[in-house]
Amino acid sequence: MDHGTGEVRFYVIPDNLGFGIPRRVAASRGVLGELERRVELSRVVLAGVTYGMGDGIDAITPAERVANRGVEPGDAGERTGGGARAYDEVTSRVRAVVIPGMHRGLGCLDERMRALYSHMASAEKVSIAYDAYLRVRESLGGESFIVTDVSSNTVSVGVEGGRLAGAVDACLGAIGMLHGPLDLEALRRVDRGELTANEAFSRGGAVKICPFSEFEEVLEPRGERARLALRALVLSVEMEIRSLMALVEPEAIVITGSAGVHDSVFLPLRRRLQGIAPVMRVDAYSAARGSAEIARAVHEGRREILGIRVER
């Protein structure tokens, strides 16, 4: 299960079945009905679950040992209640492990990154990194790469020698479609009390350049302002990827996310970055699939995944 910004997504292996439920729908109706239409829950051996920042745990942990769904108190980003309800429903019906996010308490991360940032990536980005790890290792035989998820927000993760090294979180680096770091104008608006810091973050992406109701209005631009927003998005993502090369020598660059897989984002990034390493594209179910693969690895007895300890 991937607790994403817009949807709660699921992936079932070995069926290779992926599907998503909008978070607001999950909040009002729950997810068990949709799940049970697709898979018999009694057949689920183990689920890998992500929730929010994942900063309340520092190991892949059995759900029954996790307090507060694995997050520290305090919210960031939009809250609808859909992810919380999905987490509670799934973990009450099937055996599950909860996947941590990338934060200062995660010992496998580069100590410089831990000194710099309290939080680097939410839990589903760990799952994306594992999905990318399996693909890079299978296709190229490599274990060092940068994976970038471009969707409502943008987060990039660096993996060196099969271990998580660090990441650039949505509030630190590139813009996404909705979210982005606070620049000086945003800080001044917060200081004036016009909006909260969380609201400024939630409006700091491409939407601040060209307001839209659907992502396609920017990803398939017709007007000059939308074209500028798209070009700025691609530039900021490239800058973020190149910044992580100070930490990781990539054997591959992997692009994913609902916006990242779109040709208007992926193709210019590939053109600009392919001289560094092969540039791969994986679908928007990467986080859910990676969560399922983490669960499979735990079930098979792995004690460590991407450098993260597995608690038994």
Tokens 């693969």, residue located: 293
Tokens 């930490």, residue located: 247
276, HSE (Cβ side, Cα atoms, 13 Å): 22
Give the per-residue pLDDT at 193: 97
Give the per-residue pLDDT at 269: 98
Cα(134)–Cα(260) distance, integer angstroms? 19
Helix (H, G, I), strand (E, B) or coil at 121: strand
Cα(67)–Cα(27) distance, integer angstroms? 21
Cα(155)–Cα(148) distance, integer angstroms? 6
Residues of the chain with pLDDT under 50: 77
- Look at the pTM and tell me if it is higher than 0.75: yes
Residue extents of the structural domains in the chain: 2-309
Give pLDDT tens digits for 121-173: 999 999 999 999 999 999 999 999 999 999 999 999 999 999 999 999 999 99
Number of separate helices (H) and strands (E) present in the chain: 11, 15
Range 2-309: architecture per CATH: 2-Layer Sandwich (3.30)
Distances in whole angstroms, Cα of residue 274 to Cα of each of 18, 154, 224: 29, 20, 28
